[in-house]
Amino acid sequence: MVALHPNYVYSYAPATVDSVYSHGARVVFYDGTERMLPWSEMYKISDRKYTESVEYISVCEKRLCSTKAVVWDQASGYFRLSKALKQSTM
């Protein structure tokens, strides 16, 4: 499935259903993030599409490692130049 990822504004990401409740489900995203979401924020995709999507995201993340990035520094309230680092998963 793909579901609305809680860490990214209006972005859907591959996820699997962990458990079901009356108004939605608890999902685990490809990056290990877990959330309870309503049915309206998730869409069914095939197992093949899920696997292809996760593989593609992984390739893109590896390609971006050590590249320059402009990031928001919450402590200072300013954008600053930084490097994209490998994000730890699960």
Rg (alpha carbons) of the chain, rounded to whole number: 15
**DSSP character at residue 67:** -
- Residue in this structure with the two tokens 């998730």, named with its chain if needed: 42
Res 67: pLDDT: 82
Contact 12, 3 (CB under 8 A): yes
pLDDT beyond 60 at 49: yes
Query: What pLDDT digit, counting tens, does each position of 3-27 carry?
Result: 999 998 889 999 999 999 999 999 9
Closest residue by Cα to residue 61 from 88, 34, 32: 88
